[in-house]
Amino acid sequence: MKDPRFAKLAQLLVHHSSRVQNGDKVLIEAFDIPSEFTTELIRTVAGAGGVPFVSTYQQAVTRALLQNASEEQMRTWARVDRARMEEMACYIGVRGSHNIAELSDVPREKMDLYEKLYAHPVHLEQRVKKTRWVVLRWPLPSMAQAANLSSEAFEDFYFQVCAGVDYAKMKEAMKPLEALMAATDAVHITGPGTDLRFSIKGIGSKGCWGERNIPDGECFSCPVKESVEGHIQFNCETLYRGTIFNNIRLAFERGRVKEAMADSPANTQKLNEILDCDPGARYIGEFSLAFNPLIIKPMKDILFDEKIAGSFHFTPGQAYERPGNGNESQIHWDMVCIQRAEYGGGEVAFDGRVIRRDGLFVVPELAGLNPERLGA
């Protein structure tokens, strides 16, 4: 029997996020997800007048492909898939993983090839910039395990946090934050292990309320490229290239990461290898404040963790086109720090005025973004 929650989520993705119109070509990429949901998406896209196209993937197959791919093969793969992406008006990517560490033993040089020759031209340059796109995870048992929940409890959480949030209310509540970030010059962030200063003058801002990510709930800008000074310690585990990193610490000088450490010598080495993949990887491409009221703890999945209430993320690598600082890289790695009191607290100040303390907005015009107002 079809899960009725599938239809509600499909409606959100097609009508709210992708805004599919009559005649729109829509690419659905389904990674290790139930065929029942893929077929629900096909029907919903077609019902909106769109023209659905589908590719299905298995992570174990992707691992084998990456391990054995040559440079020429990667270029051909990208050329074919970019040509297909150029035909699309919309993109819906639903990404499941039976094993969150499936790609952990893909050699570094192969991942570099994939990110540089495939992911960057197909997704960062074509899909992100030129389609109406949305991406989300799928609640497989591996995600439940990472969140320390039973599979049933995690599914209930997943569908509530993805399709049960009032995104229209969130959109209205974040408008004052968008305006404030757009008018701000100096940002100062303090907390345990963190004393960080940078400028966002002239960069602009963007509120996110379910158009590109599900779940959602953030407002982002970007540092002036060479303005970042100081140090930061992140308190969320972060999964990147199949490896879980913890307690990442970065020190900046003239905008560039001059020192990077993680929770072990092996992970410190991996961290620095990733940050050395190209010149832009040691500069910051995004700064964002998050406030999804239903996401309160990390679960080793960035699409959820970057939206944690009372958190911010700071992102080495590729900047978005708008708002952005022009930084280019094959990576875009959102690193998350929770500033609620139970995680050690902290403050965010704009132009010398504290706007958020211990994860709660403390200025009247932003109070609507606190959990009790957004509906936690």
What is the average pLDDT across 102-114? 92
Domain identity same for 148 and 172: no
Is the same domain home to 210 and 346?
yes
The answer to whether 96 and 33 are in contact (CB under 8 A) is: yes
Residues 106 and 195 occupy one common structural domain: no
Between the alpha carbon of residue 149 and those of residues 129, 145, 157, 238, the distances in Å are: 36, 6, 10, 18
179 & 81 share domain:
no
Tell me the H-state helices in 119-264. Answer: 128-130, 141-146, 151-163, 167-183
Same domain as 191, residue 71: no
- Residues 89, 21 within the same domain: yes
Cis peptide before 192 (omega within 30 of 0): no
Based on the fold, state whether residues 267 and 362 are members of the same structural domain.
yes
**Model pLDDT, residue 24:** 98
Q: Are 183 and 85 found together in one domain?
A: no
Report, as an integer, the average pLDDT of 254-279.
96
The pLDDT value recorded for residue 376 is 57
Q: Say how many C-beta atoms besides its own lie within 10 A of residue 49's C-beta.
A: 11
Domain boundary among 115, 140, 163: 163
Asked if 359 and 246 sit in the same domain, the reply is yes
User: And the tokens for 213?
Assistant: 């990510």
Assign residue 17 the CATH number of its domain: 3.40.1830.10
The pLDDT value given to residue 1: 61
Distance CA 302, CA 92 (A): 17
Q: Are 146 and 300 in contact (CB under 8 A)?
A: yes
Please say which residue of 144, 163, 182 terminates a domain.
Answer: 163
148-189 pLDDT, tens per residue?
899 999 999 999 999 888 899 999 999 999 999 999 999 999
Average pLDDT over residues 308-317: 98
Task: Categorize the per-residue pLDDT at 268 as very low, low, confident or very high, splitting at 50, 70 and 90.
Answer: very high
Q: Are residues 135 and 174 in the same domain?
A: no
- Band of residue 135 on the pLDDT scale cut at 50, 70, 90: very high
Q: Are residues 135 and 258 in the same domain?
A: no
| Domain edge (last residue) among 114, 136, 163 | 163
Answer yes or no: are the C-beta atoms of 231 and 250 closer than 8 Å. Answer: yes
- Number of folded domains that form the chain: 2
Task: For residues 159 and 180, state if they share a domain.
Answer: no
**228-241: pLDDT as tens digits:** 999 999 999 998 98
Q: How confident is the model over 344-363, as a mean pLDDT? A: 98
Per-residue pLDDT reduced to its tens digit, 19-30 = 999 999 999 999
Output DSSP code: residue 291: -
Q: What is the pLDDT of residues 195-219, one digit of tens each?
A: 999 999 999 999 999 999 999 999 9
Domain that holds residue 319: 167-374
- Confidence band of 2 (pLDDT split at 50, 70, 90): confident
